[in-house]
Amino acid sequence: MMAENQVLPSTASVTAGGHLAIGDCDLVALADEFGTPVVVYDEAHLRATAREFVHAYRSLGCTAEVIYASKAYFGLAVLRLLRDEGLSIDVASGGELHAALAAGFPPERIYLHGNNKTPREVDEALAARVGTVIIDGFDEIALVADAAARHGIVQRVMVRVTPGVDPVTHSAIATGQVDSKFGFSLVGDAQRGVAAVRASAHLELVGLHAHLGSQLFDLSVFGPTARVLADFAAEVGADDIGVVDLGGGLGVAYTSGHAPPSVAEFAQAQATALETAFAAHGLPTPKLLCEPGRAMVGRAGVTLYRVGGIKPVPGIRTYASVDGGMSDLLRPMLYGAVYEPVLADRPEAPADRTYRVVGKHCESGDILVAEARLPELAVGDVLCLPATGAYGVAMASNYNGQPRPAVVFVADGAARLVTRRETYADILGRDRV
């Protein structure tokens, strides 16, 4: 069973005692030791994925840079690991910038994003000397230029455009379409944006950026995107368009029915699209930047919950309640995302029952898995929800006063706490009465 599982981290195995293990650590024992809910990251899987991305672009012979989109999860342990693997980092807020700096990313490897960067965020970024700011709209040009002047620097910037390509994904995570809050529209705005950036003595234009959307399975979208960018570069003059960022978005498998493209296929699609599009205008291929978030950390992480109550509603369904829910994993509620739990206590028992796995929050919509096929459950069992490493804890809340989960790294039979569970004191700690 474990050999075929494409949803669990790659080191998943079954212990001699019949429990599910990751990184040679028994997940039932981890739940006992660290409590639940707890997010467990497979360190070997994280490292292997980072290397797979770097290798994929390198082996194509293209000049490329892999930039981790830290919004997917910005815990310091993950950031440090990815820094050590030589990745760059995309931050979309002052908080993510703070985390990137705390994790020791060299400032020149930091890319600042955001459709409404505040004056304070821009100032913090320039004070830290971040390598590149992605300009997202007109109002930001003066903001960044003035800050650069104040800091006595010329800031490298890229201009983000919306290429008008439908990425075929959930509407809430599609960004490349013209009707978007992000970037400059290519119908008029982008030309003026580029001109305004070029006119500033404190900004140095280095390239263009486009991010289509997230959880993409269809790689054919990069052809038209690269064409639109190359056409635009040819129109406005490509001398200072030495870098093109085609964004992140590579999808991951949340269930065994999902078959996302491989990292190598994703890299190949981006690289080929870029080269072909620029060559059509007789232009050299720019340096390629990519910004994976979900595909970098999604499958490396699982969440462990403990089953606290089982309620059959005769003739309708059986509910299994766990000790987390929408506060640690909002994706099912927000996007209708489907997950496939594995029973950590008996992973090899036949999954011949159907349960609705629900959280502990005061809402009927707090459903983690609407129709989960599982072996018969008992109160106290540990449920493992695979592929929760991206946009899980990163989007966690304190709804119902629920402390946010602990995070644990596992490798070679050893587990270490990398983020402690929140306490009640943490939750009230900011209140002043």
Q: Which is nearer to ligand LLP, 387 or 407 (CB)?
A: 387
CA torsion sign, 158 to 162 to 165 to 169?
positive
The answer to whether the beta carbons of residues 175 and 248 sit under 8 Å apart is: no
Chain center to CA of 41? 14
Pairing of strands 317-322, 301-313: antiparallel
Beta carbon of residue 56, minimum distance to ligand LLP (angstroms, whole number): 14
Residues ≥6 apart with Cβ < 8 Å to 375: 343, 346, 349, 350, 351, 352, 353
Residue 37: is the preceding peptide bond cis (ω within 30°)? yes
Q: CA distances (Å), 314 to each of 311, 358, 410, in order?
A: 9, 17, 41
Q: Which is nearer to ligand LLP, 37 or 249 (CB)?
A: 249
Q: Which is nearer to ligand LLP, 182 or 409 (CB)?
A: 182
Beta carbon of residue 113, minimum distance to ligand LLP (angstroms, whole number): 5
Q: CA distances (Å), 119 to each of 92, 112, 140, 144, in order?
A: 14, 13, 9, 8
Beta carbon of residue 114, minimum distance to ligand LLP (angstroms, whole number): 9
Residues ≥6 apart with Cβ < 8 Å to 111: 67, 88, 89, 90, 91, 130, 131, 132, 133, 134, 245, 289, 291
Q: Which is nearer to ligand LLP, 293 or 301 (CB)?
A: 293
Provide the token pair at 322.
Answer: 């766990």
Q: Which is nearer to ligand LLP, 217 or 335 (CB)?
A: 335
The answer to whether the beta carbons of residues 367 and 338 sit under 8 Å apart is: no
Closest among 243, 233, 147 to 194, alpha carbons compared:
233
CA distance 143 to 369: 45
Q: Does the annotation mark 362 as catalytic?
A: yes
Q: Which is nearer to ligand LLP, 330 or 374 (CB)?
A: 330
Per the residue annotation, which of 25, 62, 290, 362 is the catalytic one? 362
Helix (H) or strand (E) holding 69: strand 64-69
Beta carbon of residue 71, minimum distance to ligand LLP (angstroms, whole number): 6
Q: Looking at 101-178, which runs of residues are DSSP E strands?
A: 110-112, 132-135, 155-162
Q: Which is nearer to ligand LLP, 156 or 211 (CB)?
A: 211
CA distance 259 to 218: 11
Beta carbon of residue 152, minimum distance to ligand LLP (angstroms, whole number): 29
Chain center to CA of 365? 24
Chain center to CA of 312? 36
Q: Which is nearer to ligand LLP, 214 or 327 (CB)?
A: 214
3-state SS assignment for residue 77: helix
Beta carbon of residue 215, minimum distance to ligand LLP (angstroms, whole number): 6
Residues ≥6 apart with Cβ < 8 Å to 101: 107, 110, 128
Beta carbon of residue 290, minimum distance to ligand LLP (angstroms, whole number): 9
Half-sphere exposure (CA, 13 Å, Cβ side) for 212? 27
Task: Write out the residues near ligand LLP by the rule CB under 6 A.
Answer: 69, 71-72, 90, 113, 173, 175, 211, 214-215, 247-250, 291-295, 331, 335, 391
Catalytic machinery residues = 362
